[in-house]
Structure 1
Amino acid sequence: MNTDLFDRLGVPERIREIAGYDLFDEDLRTSLDAIAKRSAGLLEAPISMVSMILDTSQFIIGSYGLSGWVADAEGTPAEWAMCTHTVLAGEPYCVVDGTQDPRHADNPFLRMTGMRSYLGVPLIGGGHALGAHCVIDARPRIFTDVDRAVLADGAEKVMRLLDAYRLR
């Protein structure tokens, strides 16, 4: 395990903020899936996700187009998750072609899934980047400011929805 990554993601206040939402509520999950489906459609991407980045793992709480082992596991190790980079940056994160990008060329997730491009925007709650709303594609893509705006709109909808599912 990458202890530096664990230290950067495992900030107690950030983890407490994530734990403050009822992430297992079926109605919430259905609504998050709908947001992911909308983003995938608007950006013509085969996959869209809403995920929370914990200290060691990515937990997928909403998705569209996801299949196989990632869908079954509802996540990946944090080191493999492109969304981890979005959370650590605290701003939109873009990868045009992960196979050609030295930061991601050895990523097991990309090798196992065939995914190549990524655009994610952070989910901000309690002053922390908690997770990301993203699209992933099997082809290289240059994402635009309009694409980022579409995802940012989706992320705002996600956070409004999560606030309605805050544990009291």
Structure 2
Amino acid sequence: MTTSIDRRVLGDPARMRVLASIDFDNPELRRALDRISVRTAQRTGLPVSLVTLVLNTAQMTVGVSGLDNWVTEADGTPIEWSFCANAVISGHPYVIPDAVHSEQAGNPLVTQDRIGSYAGVPVTLGGQIVGAHCIIGPTAHLFTTLQLAELEQAANEIAALFQQFSDLD
């Protein structure tokens, strides 16, 4: 369904402590993350942009633009369906230009929710990769270096916000 999910990485106690330090329910943080997601979608021309926190069993959607379905209602997905988990585990951008013809082809987000393309970059806090910032398209899409640079720049802003809304020193 997804590339190998390394639960040792996702469940690492140091990473989980950093995740637990983030006040992700803070309305001010959520509004700021939504604004970044809106801006990223606009600047990249892709209809959906998300900020996720990747836990050991689930992916939380903490910033969103352009997505109004069960994922936003549930505030995330099972970890087995998470594209963002691959960016967290690898520590590198995860790009799927054509989801239908990729290792993600059997993923319910592709087969049922019709994700056609995905690009996501890791977000780091306190030396730990805690989530990702991504853009999603309904069809196959070749992502440009400018689109990926926009994701990276926004991921740095997101990391700064997570720092501001965490109890890490």
TM-score where L is the length of structure 2 = 0.94
Task: Supply the AA of the counterpart residue of 1:166.
Answer: S
Q: Percent identity?
A: 35
- 2:23 aligns to what SS in structure 1? coil
* Partner of residue 141, structure 1: 141
* Partner of residue 115, structure 1: 115
Report the Cα offset of residue 4 of structure 1: 6.1
* Partner of residue 73, structure 1: 74
Inter-partner Cα distance in structure 2 for 1:75 and 1:109: 12
- Residues 4 and 118 of structure 1, relative CA distance in 2, 3 Å threshold: closer
Would you identify which runs of 4 or more consecutive aligned residues in structure 1 move more than 4 Å?
Answer: none
Inter-partner Cα distance in structure 2 for 1:7 and 1:23: 23
Output aligned runs, 1:4-23, within 5 Å: 5-23=6-24
Task: Supply the AA of the counterpart residue of 2:69.
Answer: G
Q: Is the 8 A contact 2:5 2:86 kept in 1?
A: no
Inter-partner Cα distance in structure 2 for 1:7 and 1:161: 26
Inter-partner Cα distance in structure 1 for 2:23 and 2:126: 16
Inter-partner Cα distance in structure 2 for 1:21 and 1:58: 15
Report the Cα offset of residue 148 of structure 1: 0.9
How many matched pairs? 165
Task: Supply the AA of the counterpart residue of 1:150.
Answer: E
Output aligned runs, 1:85-124, within 5 Å: 85-101=86-102, 103-124=103-124
Structure 1 unaligned residues grouped into runs of 5+: none
